Amino acid sequence: MALDELQAGDVRKPAVDEEWIIISGGPAGSVQARIVKPAGTETALPVVLYIHGAGRVFGDAHTHDRLVRELAVGAAAAVVFPEYDLSPEARYPVAIEQSFPVAQWVVEQGATKDLDGSRLAVAGDSDKLRQAGVPVTAVRFQAVIHDFVMLDALRDTHAARTATDLAARTLGAALHTT
């Protein structure tokens, strides 16, 4: 796919510890999820469940690798990334039905992987939450395209750096509030 090729170049990525797990549930019976933590973390971390958008047609752990790493390190949190089945082969609402068991797993069993399921934020790069009536904070940077922060080629632009830093700080502040 063109996006995979676009994201194939060399780019600086923060050091992280990562693990792939398989979670039972959803219409396919199970879903893979990637757990990404700041390198060397030895205590339980709050969790960002990152559900990528892109119309659920493209995108995966590879295309979002750098962004997920930056959010984990910047927010001092674990990022759990469901690798749900993509459209058009998997029709709506399969992606949501595969992401939900991942969220449940974080809350109910995440402690087995040093995840603090009592401190959970849901984030992503989709406008679907707003369409569902969920209050969403959105910031526009220089009228750039949707999903621009995940594009490695745009990483060093002022807009992408600012947007990613703002997201990481906002998530970190929300998750580390006592």
pLDDT (tens digit per residue) in 119-143:
999 887 766 666 767 777 777 777 6
Residue 64 in contact with residue 147, Cβ under 8 Å? no
Residue 66 in contact with residue 13, Cβ under 8 Å? yes
- Where residue 95 falls (left for φ over 0; alpha for ψ -120 to 50; beta otherwise) is alpha
Residue 102 sits in a domain whose CATH number is: 3.40.50.1820
Assigned domain for 30 exists: yes
The region of weakest confidence among 50-59, 68-77, 81-90, 96-105 is: 50-59
Assigned domain for 132 exists: no
Assigned domain for 136 exists: no
Q: Residue 7's domain spans which residues?
A: 2-127+143-175
Tell me the H-state helices in the chain: 2-6, 65-75, 94-109, 128-131, 158-175
Burial label, 65 (beta-carbon count in 10 A; 0-12, 13-18, 19+): buried
Kindly report whether the peptide bond that precedes residue 88 is cis, defined as omega within 30 degrees of 0.
Answer: yes
Burial label, 173 (beta-carbon count in 10 A; 0-12, 13-18, 19+): exposed
- pLDDT class of 57 with cuts at 50, 70, 90: very low
Residue 87 in contact with residue 56, Cβ under 8 Å? yes
- The model's pLDDT over 94-121, given as tens digits with 9 standing for 90+, comes to 667 778 899 999 999 999 999 999 999 9
Residue 75 in contact with residue 175, Cβ under 8 Å? yes
Q: Give, for 32, the enclosing helix (H) or strand (E).
A: strand 30-38
pTM of the predicted structure, to 2 decimals: 0.84
Kindly report whether the peptide bond that precedes residue 82 is cis, defined as omega within 30 degrees of 0.
Answer: no
Structural domain count, the chain: 1
Assigned domain for 138 exists: no
Residue 87 pLDDT > 60, yes or no?
no
Assigned domain for 72 exists: yes
Assigned domain for 52 exists: yes
pLDDT top residue among 137 and 172:
172
Assigned domain for 133 exists: no
Assigned domain for 96 exists: yes
- Cα radius of gyration (the chain): 15
- pLDDT class of 89 with cuts at 50, 70, 90: low
What phi, psi does 118 have (nearest 5°)?
A: -80, -15
